């Protein structure tokens, strides 16, 4: 979204009720909800305001949507950052996310109770469900009339048409006796007037979700929560990189210093919410030496096991066409033959050519003419990918490196290694997805071992000794500091995360309004 000339503005000397750092899935619903209840709200966002009409399917130009400040990666599965894991701008990573929007499985809230491994959430699905349904209804989520794994569930929008990869995955699942459905997708399939935003056009099935949606069909925070926040008097400040959190002699937060166009500014606040994502939120706390009496800030960094398997067919697939990830099966949420705890979702995959080529280059050591021949198979390739549970492990964490960025602030160091559970899940999925593709005649099947999403690092829980925030996102150490983003997840769970982050954000806003 672009900043509105009619937006209310606050002076640096105003003590705003709530200052929020970050405008993504964690920050935006909370900004809207607090503003709707009459609170004065300012949102600091490091990235720019992108007008939706400026999004382009050009993959190189769309890099403007990525968080490109350098991050250092370590561990035996070092993660590639940039486009794969985070975003920037008014709207955060949802500007270029895939919009796949399954709900968390009820069992994933209680993984430790079920298996003795991992960590339980401090509440169950029943607690989060009303907020999940509110998010789905407000932003617009499409899905099938009948969802096999939750027959009571209803979606307000019909699914978009299936692309070739989605159709192939259906055939393959049928051959193996697996159930499948059109997956929940955060997009609208008929034109609507979005309150406080304006017209959103139905999905045109163009396939460019990861480059930003030009016609407002994809449900992000830029075309839903943020315009609502502005309508109720919140101020959005794009291009503002927050770096210093100021406190009074009692230790309570008094304001934040940020840099905009090379100039330092200060905004005073009564309450601060960190919604900068699971790497930048702990980085802010660590560089400021805050809220870490538990020693848990930056710890328990998790991802999703996101193995992909691609196959080449005799006929044209055209993986750039259509909504990329329509078909889902949840049959692997607790597979009977599992040698791991937790489970995984399987989703069909389309992809733009440059991203596909990069993935291919990572998955094979073949180069030269053989690699060129593999690249030439793009138009006949279809993919499937998983999203699976990843257990918290002490060696996986975000710390501060010795290197400094352009602002003189230590760059984050992210250590990430799969443990036995993640490897077992990867191998299980690689076998199954290969069988699905073989059943429908795919050749040159390639397995890509990859992890996605940034999760954990400031987890919520009931006990101040082992958690950073309480079950509604409030710091145990500083009572006017709250966290609302992917960092508070106690466990990764299998579902793609944006829905749960937004639901938790509304829940945290409700708790803040009661203080």
Residues that bind ligand SF4 (CB under 6 A): 187, 203-209, 213, 215, 217-218, 323
Tokens of 410: 């230590």
If DSSP codes are grouped into helix, strand and coil, which group holds residue 329? strand
- Least distance in Å: CB of 324 to ligand SF4? 7
17-46 mask for ligand FAD (x: CB under 6 A)?
Answer: ----xxxxxxx----------------xxx
Using CB distances below 5 to 8 A depending on partner kind, what does residue 85 bind out of ligand SF4, ligand FAD, none?
A: ligand FAD
On whether the CB atoms of residues 322 and 349 are closer than 8 A, the answer is: no
* Alpha-carbon gap, residue 335 to 324, rounded angstroms: 25
Using CB distances below 5 to 8 A depending on partner kind, what does residue 323 bind out of ligand FAD, ligand SF4, none?
A: ligand SF4
Look at the chain and count its residues: 515
If DSSP codes are grouped into helix, strand and coil, which group holds residue 460? strand
- Within 13 Å, how many C-alpha atoms sit on residue 332's CB side? 28
- Least distance in Å: CB of 66 to ligand FAD? 8
Name which of 202, 205, 228, 232 is nearest 216 in CA terms: 202
Q: Which of 173, 229, 276, 341 binds ligand FAD (CB under 6 A)?
A: 276
CA-CA-CA-CA torsion for 444, 327, 84, 412, nearest 10 degrees?
Answer: -120
Would you count residue 140 as binding ligand FAD (CB under 6 A)?
no
336, exposed or middle or buried, with CB in 10 Å at 0-12, 13-18, 19+? exposed
What is the separation of C-alpha 376 from the centre of its chain, rounded to a whole number of angstroms?
31
Which of the residues 434 through 453 are near ligand FAD (CB under 6 A)?
453
User: Which DSSP letter does residue 296 get?
Assistant: -
* Alpha-carbon gap, residue 221 to 91, rounded angstroms: 5
* Alpha-carbon gap, residue 477 to 491, rounded angstroms: 22
Which of the residues 215 through 254 are near ligand FAD (CB under 6 A)?
240-242
Would you count residue 280 as binding ligand FAD (CB under 6 A)?
yes
Using CB distances below 5 to 8 A depending on partner kind, what does residue 218 bind out of ligand FAD, ligand SF4, none?
A: ligand SF4
Using CB distances below 5 to 8 A depending on partner kind, what does residue 24 bind out of ligand FAD, ligand SF4, none?
A: ligand FAD
- Least distance in Å: CB of 350 to ligand FAD? 12
Would you count residue 496 as binding ligand FAD (CB under 6 A)?
yes
Place of tokens 């561990």: 75
Q: Which is nearer to ligand FAD, 264 or 315 (CB)?
A: 264
- Least distance in Å: CB of 493 to ligand FAD? 11
Reduced DSSP (H G I as helix, E B as strand, rest coil) percent helix, strand, coil of the chain, to 5: 30, 25, 50
Using CB distances below 5 to 8 A depending on partner kind, what does residue 204 bind out of ligand FAD, ligand SF4, none?
A: ligand SF4
- Least distance in Å: CB of 344 to ligand FAD? 14
Would you count residue 497 as binding ligand FAD (CB under 6 A)?
yes
* Alpha-carbon gap, residue 504 to 472, rounded angstroms: 8
Angle between helices 498-514 and 28-36 (to 10 degrees): 30
Q: Which is nearer to ligand FAD, 163 or 377 (CB)?
A: 163
* Alpha-carbon gap, residue 304 to 291, rounded angstroms: 26
Q: Which is nearer to ligand SF4, 206 or 511 (CB)?
A: 206
Using CB distances below 5 to 8 A depending on partner kind, what does residue 46 bind out of ligand SF4, ligand FAD, none?
A: ligand FAD
- Least distance in Å: CB of 210 to ligand SF4? 8
Q: Which is nearer to ligand SF4, 73 or 205 (CB)?
A: 205
Contacts with ligand FAD by CB under 6 A lie at 21-27, 44-47, 67, 83, 85-89, 92-94, 96-101, 210, 240-242, 275-277, 280, 284, 453, 485-486, 496-499, 501
């Amino acid at each position: 979204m672009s900043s509105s000339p009619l937006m209310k503005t606050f002076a640096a000397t105003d003590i705003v009720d709530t200052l929020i750092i970050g405008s993504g899935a964690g920050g935006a619903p909370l900004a809207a909800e607090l503003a709707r209840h009459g609170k004065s709200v300012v949102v600091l966002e490091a990235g720019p305001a992108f007008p939706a009409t400026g999004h382009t399917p050009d993959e190189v130009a769309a890099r403007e949507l990525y968080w490109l400040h350098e991050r250092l990666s370590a561990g035996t599965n070092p993660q590639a950052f940039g486009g794969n894991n985070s975003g920037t701008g008014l709207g955060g990573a949802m500007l270029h996310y895939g919009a796949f929007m399954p709900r968390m499985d009820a069992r994933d809230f209680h993984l430790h109770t079920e298996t003795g491994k991992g960590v339980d959430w401090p509440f169950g699905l029943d607690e989060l469900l009303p907020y999940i349904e509110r998010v789905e209804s407000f932003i617009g989520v499409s899905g099938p009339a009948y969802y096999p794994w939750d027959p009571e569930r209803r979606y307000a929008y019909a699914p978009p048409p299936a692309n070739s990869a989605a159709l192939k995955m259906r055939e393959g699942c049928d051959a193996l006796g697996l159930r499948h459905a059109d997956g929940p997708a955060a997009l609208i399939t008929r034109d609507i007037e979005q309150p406080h935003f304006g017209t959103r056009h139905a999905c045109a099935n163009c396939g460019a979700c990861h480059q930003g949606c030009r016609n407002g069909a994809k449900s992000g925070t830029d075309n839903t929560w943020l315009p609502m926040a502005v309508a109720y008097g919140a101020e959005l400040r794009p291009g503002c990189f927050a770096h210093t959190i100021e406190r009074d002699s009692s230790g309570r937060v008094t304001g934040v210093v940020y840099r905009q166009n090379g100039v330092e500014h200060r905004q005073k606040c009564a309450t601060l919410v960190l919604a900068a994502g699971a790497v930048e939120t702990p980085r802010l706390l660590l560089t400021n030496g805050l809220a870490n009496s538990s020693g848990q800030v930056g710890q328990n960094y998790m991802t999703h096991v996101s193995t992909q398997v691609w196959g080449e067919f005799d006929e044209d697939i055209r993986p750039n066409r259509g909504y990329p990830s329509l078909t889902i099966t949840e049959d692997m949420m607790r597979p009977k033959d599992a040698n791991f705890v937790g489970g995984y979702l399987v989703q069909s995959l389309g992809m733009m050519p440059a991203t596909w080529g990069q993935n291919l280059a990572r998955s094979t050591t073949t180069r030269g003419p053989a690699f060129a021949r593999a690249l030439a198979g793009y138009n006949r390739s279809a993919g499937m990918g998983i999203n699976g549970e990843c257990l918290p492990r002490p060696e996986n964490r975000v710390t501060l490196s010795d290197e400094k960025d352009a602002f003189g602030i230590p760059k984050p160091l992210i250590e990430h290694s799969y443990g036995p559970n993640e490897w077992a899940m990867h191998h299980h999925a690689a076998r199954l997805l290969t069988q699905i593709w073989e059943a429908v005649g795919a050749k040159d099947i390639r397995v890509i071992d990859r992890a996605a999403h940034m999760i954990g690092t400031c987890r919520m829980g009931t006990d101040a000794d082992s958690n950073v925030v309480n079950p509604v996102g409030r710091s145990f150490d500083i009572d006017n500091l709250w966290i609302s983003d992917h960092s508070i997840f106690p466990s990764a769970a299998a579902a793609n995360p944006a829905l749960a982050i937004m639901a938790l954000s509304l829940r945290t806003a409700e708790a803040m309004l009661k203080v």
